[in-house]
Amino acid sequence: MPELPEVETIARQLRGLVTGRTVAHFRCEWHRLTEPEPAALFARRLEGRRISGVRRRGKFVVLDLEGGDALIVSLRMTGQLLFRDRDVEAHPHRRARIAFADGTALEFADTRKFGRMAIVDGAALEGAGERRRRTGEPLHRHLGVEPLSRRFTARWLREFLRRRGRAAVKPLLLDQTGIAGVGNIYAIEALWRARIHPLRAAGTLRSDEVERLHEALRWVLRKGIRFGGASPRDYRDARGQEGRMQQEFEVYGRAGEPCPRCGAEIRRTVVGGRGTFHCPRCQRAPRAGR
């Protein structure tokens, strides 16, 4: 699933490609894409609207519309937003097409059909997860703190981990209502850089370890953006190009290989239902997990 660096890469590209363009026509080619809103009503709300800006919130691509609304796109596992500046053959897994008044277009392709689109109040994206999310409520109303924002300080992270002290640290990093945008790959890379085992209870981290984790998260996310995101499988940017971050992974996907820091064999385990990679020497397991 595309994470913060991949979504940020797409948002930055689209900012220069679609800002100022007016939507002439919206065609939905997968009936569940706009659920629960019917595609015909979705099209009526979108057509004729001018895109005033493009940004990222968590793992959502956000196209701001004049009037205060925002079109949010969740790429999920295999979604791609592809800008088309001329007539080209449609992507074989195209699920929607946004045609602009000047003849350009934005395609949404999605092999596995997990991606979704919604038109929401742009102001609803500005919260920071203060209220507990209720079952069935949309995630975009409860996104947490952006890890590259000024609000995300080591002090904030320390307090966040203290409040959930009994939980394992890695699943906490993936909770989008706490920290918005961090996914499995970058959590794994950050924990390795900070020398913290994925199963460490959050409340057991010392102040210096929290400082290391704070630095590591921001470092790996910025590096991911610099390399255009990672394309271990399906990810493509708005021009259809692969990212290069997968060539920079230290531990993700490298089970059985030597740790680049100490030489110990990298191990693969499952934490919170997600495949996890760590170095058993650099990232010492908590006593109960040894």
Q: For residue 20, which phi and psi values (nearest 5 degrees)?
A: 90, -10
Say whether the peptide bond before residue 36 is cis (omega within 30 degrees of 0): yes
Selected catalytic residue, list 56, 59, 97, 193: 59
Please state whether beta strands 94-100 and 105-110 pair in parallel, antiparallel, or not at all (unpaired).
antiparallel
Residue 5 among the catalytic residues: no
Residue 274 among the catalytic residues: yes
Residue 198 among the catalytic residues: no
For 272, other C-beta atoms within 10 Å of its C-beta total 15
Selected catalytic residue, list 164, 222, 254, 274: 274
Cα–Cα distance for residue pair 79/101, rounded to 1 Å: 24
The candidate with the shortest Cα–Cα distance to 106, out of 10, 187, 33, is 10
Residue 222 among the catalytic residues: no
Cα–Cα distance for residue pair 118/121, rounded to 1 Å: 10
The candidate with the shortest Cα–Cα distance to 278, out of 262, 259, 261, is 259
- Measured at the CA of 76, the angle between CA 20 and CA 70, to 5 degrees, comes to 30
Q: Give the N- to C-terminal CA distance of the chain in Å, as an integer.
A: 30
Instruction: Catalogue the active-site residues.
Output: 2-3, 59, 274
